[in-house]
Structure 1
Amino acid sequence: MSIWGFEAIGTRWEIVADEPLPASELVAVTAVIARFDAEWSRFRADSVVSRLRAHGGAVPAPEDATVMLELYRELSTATGGAVNPLIGAGLEALGYDADFTLHPGEPQAAPRDWERMLRLTSSELTLREPATIDIGALGKGRLVDLVAETLATVPGRLIVDAGGDLRVRGGSARVGLEHPYDPTSAIGVVEVADRALCASAVNRRAWGDGLHHVLDARTGRPVRTWAATWAIADDAMHADAIATALFFDGGAELAARWGVDWVRMSTDGRAEWSHGFDGELFGTEPAP
């Protein structure tokens, strides 16, 4: 077994394969991640997102814009506007900005009319006025899928793991569901076979009292009801999207429509899960 570990997009990656990856595959993966980061990172001054934040206007459409924005429309509709790709300014207002100031100001809701402001054609992505795009609801999952697709010819079992958001091909992996309040323990385990698992939790990217990266776009405030979510889908982008949607009303219904299995844990320690989830949970009470 070969494990290639590296840092990218602010998280630790591990790519597990039966045999060491050829140098050409390593170069290809590095190029895919670099391209995605240069287009979508709000932490880079030279990214496409940063150019739009400063001036608005039109830019050549990034490769992944169509598939990601289509999913955002479904997420936004299902959650009553709680998920919104223009939530970036809300994160910055609370201190989660490009300089990582972590000094919170007043909460800032995302523009409710984001579909009017952010328009896409076959050739251009247009932001009608300056705003901050943040694709955190599904972007890492999309990148996990792109890396897995880049390694499509690698034989045997392959695991692409980006900080716990992972996709397994050609076999299975037993994955622990990390307890959101105790990273040394798990609330359960699940076998992921030729699918993807993504998670989100309020203890990840958290700062200050009650401040974390999962915001309700309608208010700009961090969510309070759910502490952690896990979603299992055929691809990582849909798993990542549902892991976000599950923090809000409508998320479970969207998961059912997409055929995604899931678990979520409330801030008072109770668990809720989908009918199709076939993992094992430890010491958690069902949510009412």
Structure 2
Amino acid sequence: MTRGASPPWEFEAIGTRWQVQTPHVLGPDVRTAVRGIVEDFDRAWSRFRADSLVTALARGAGAVPLPRDGAAMLDLFTALSAATAGAVNPLVGGPLARRGYDPAYGLVDTGAEAAPADWADRLAWDAGRLTLTAPAVIDVGALGKGRLVDLVAAAVNGPVVVDGGGDLIVRGMTQRIALEHPYDTSRAIGVWEVTDAALCASALNRRAWGDGLHHVLDARTGEPVRTIAATWAVAATTMVADAAATALFFDGGPAFAAAHHVSWVRMMTDGCVEWSPGCRADLFLGADSVES
């Protein structure tokens, strides 16, 4: 907690622990507004809820009202998919469920399946409608939590740190953030000082189960990523930082980050660390670490 700040407001939402830290205790009106924002987002985008819009689309092709976040997120998905040659795909929900990351958290692997490569032809977002021409399961995990962090921060007037389980934004203050080692959570590979920016992290040791199974799939094959262990990205918004942290698990990640003005660090599964030109993270580097 930042010195001089009030105790953080903590709550559970979208499957993770949240903290909202401000200099003064948040009033009930702000807390009610934040809870409403989180509920609206979850009801729209959660594939784990039977009453969500994406679950309704998964049951059969058709259209639902376009959530207010839909255009921003799916436009960025278009850039993500292009940069990663299709490795990131918003219709990856079905392949994730097959590998065990299903709405019931069955964690039983029933085999790899690629996401529809023609997702941009199947999925449309215009005229106030979100439309699928064939049944599929939308999963916005590549950038959705980042989008929600931005929305929560916007609901708080004044300095704030919003931490949505590893995706966080800092407004009106400075935070020094440890970059957790993916193979030893008691250690860090460095620290990053963040002021008026967002930092997102993703790692293979989070949401992992079974024999090498985890939440980062290559949508082209349905197989888990094997070469990158963890990524960290700093950007002006949490949605962009979250998207970059996902992209960095694939070959096109650095190009996506550069195009969106993102600084980054990533650790390979062999222990090598790479970082972007001009990255200001304070890294505890070994001989096998290189600027990308």
Give the TM-score, by structure 1 length: 0.97
Q: 1:27 aligns with which of 32, 47, 53?
A: 32
Q: 1:201 aligns with which of 180, 200, 203?
A: 203
Q: 2:126 aligns with which of 121, 129, 133?
A: 121
Structure 2 counterpart of 1:286: 289
Structure 2 counterpart of 1:133: 138
Structure 1 counterpart of 2:258: 256
- Aligned pairs, how many? 285
Report the CA distance between 1:207 and its aligned residue. Answer: 0.1
Q: Please list the CA deviations of residues 28-73 of structure 1 after superposition, one character each: whole Å capped at 9, or x if unmatched.
A: 0000000000000000000001000011201111111100010000
Structure 1 counterpart of 2:194: 192
Q: Please list the CA deviations of residues 112-168 of structure 1 after superposition, one character each: whole Å capped at 9, or x if unmatched.
A: 0000100111211101111000000000000000001111x2x3x310001121000
Cα distance in 2 for partners of 1:149, 1:283 equals 36
Structure 2 counterpart of 1:171: 173
Report the CA distance between 1:283 and its aligned residue. Answer: 4.0
Structure 2 counterpart of 1:109: 114
Structure 2 counterpart of 1:92: 97
Structure 2 counterpart of 1:159: 161
Quick one: which amino acid aligns to residue 240 of structure 1? D
- Unaligned runs of 5+ residues in structure 2 are none
Q: Please list the CA deviations of residues 11-31 of structure 1 after superposition, one character each: whole Å capped at 9, or x if unmatched.
A: 000000000001100000000
Cα distance in 2 for partners of 1:148, 1:188 equals 26
Cα distance in 1 for partners of 2:128, 2:255 equals 33
Structure 2 counterpart of 1:144: 149
Quick one: which amino acid aligns to residue 94 of structure 2? A
Quick one: which amino acid aligns to residue 208 of structure 2? A
Q: Does 1:223 align with 2:225?
A: yes
Structure 1 counterpart of 2:183: 181
The alignment-based identity, stated in percent, is 57
Report the CA distance between 1:185 and its aligned residue. Answer: 1.1
- Unaligned runs of 5+ residues in structure 1 are none
SS in 1 for 2:246: helix
Structure 2 counterpart of 1:60: 65
Equivalent pair of 2:61/2:134 in contact (CA under 8 Å): yes
Cα distance in 2 for partners of 1:162, 1:24 equals 20
Q: Please list the CA deviations of residues 67-94 of structure 1 after superposition, one character each: whole Å capped at 9, or x if unmatched.
A: 0010000000000000000000010010
SS in 1 for 2:240: helix
Structure 2 counterpart of 1:236: 238
Cα distance in 2 for partners of 1:193, 1:90 equals 37
Structure 2 counterpart of 1:77: 82
Give me the CA root mean square deviation: 1.0
Give the TM-score, by structure 2 length: 0.96
Q: Does 1:43 align with 2:48?
A: yes
SS in 2 for 1:166: strand
Equivalent pair of 2:166/2:202 in contact (CA under 8 Å): no
Cα distance in 1 for partners of 2:204, 2:166 equals 14
SS in 2 for 1:256: helix
Cα distance in 1 for partners of 2:127, 2:170 equals 32
Cα distance in 2 for partners of 1:172, 1:12 equals 21
Cα distance in 2 for partners of 1:87, 1:254 equals 20
Cα distance in 1 for partners of 2:78, 2:135 equals 20
Which structure 1 residue ranges, 4+ long, deviate > 2 Å from structure 2?
Answer: none
